[in-house]
Amino acid sequence: MPHDIVNGHIGHIGHNHAHDGEHLHSHMPDADRAEELKVLTTQFIEGFIDAKDKMSYLRIAGVPLEMADPEGGPTMKLVDVTLTTEWQVGTASPSFGSRELSYLPYPGPMVTERTNMGLIYVSLRTKHVEDLRSFMKSHQAAGAIGK
């Protein structure tokens, strides 16, 4: 197992341990969490697409069919699920000393595809789209998935 030396003490990287009577947990670098989230959302979307009974799939996955209105209005109901596909064909970032962006179009093999899901909740007053990545991230942080 890899070790970390901090202030002269040797410790384990990514090990399970308790903090002051807390439960055991693992430490995962942010890049690894992002990759894990990417894998989880991809598998979730593929499972949803393949599911013969979409509502049962959502229920088994713990997707709430109703949610509280963030503005305190009536309870919102899940009515639609959307899938969007995007292809990243380049990158743009601020240029040093210029008001123009530095643009780098990708060659064909570097173009990447991303599919995301939106959970659409409505009430008589409002509509809210819950991004699957946000939903998974909040449930992962709460310990509901990815264990």
Residue 109 resides in a domain: yes
Residue 147 lies in a domain: no
| pLDDT tens digits for range 73-116 | 899 999 999 999 999 999 999 989 888 999 999 999 999 998 99
Range of the domain at 86: 3-141
39 within some domain: yes
Percent helix, strand and coil across the chain, each to the nearest 5 = 30, 35, 35
Instruction: Establish if 146 belongs to a structural domain.
Output: no
The count of domains in the chain is 1
> pLDDT tens digits for 8-49?
544 444 444 455 555 555 555 666 777 888 888 999 999 999
Q: In Å, how far are 27, 89, 105, 112, 114 from 109, measured between CA atoms?
A: 34, 10, 12, 8, 15
Q: Is residue 64 in some structural domain?
A: yes
pTM, two decimals, is 0.64
The Cα 64–Cα 16 span in angstroms is 31
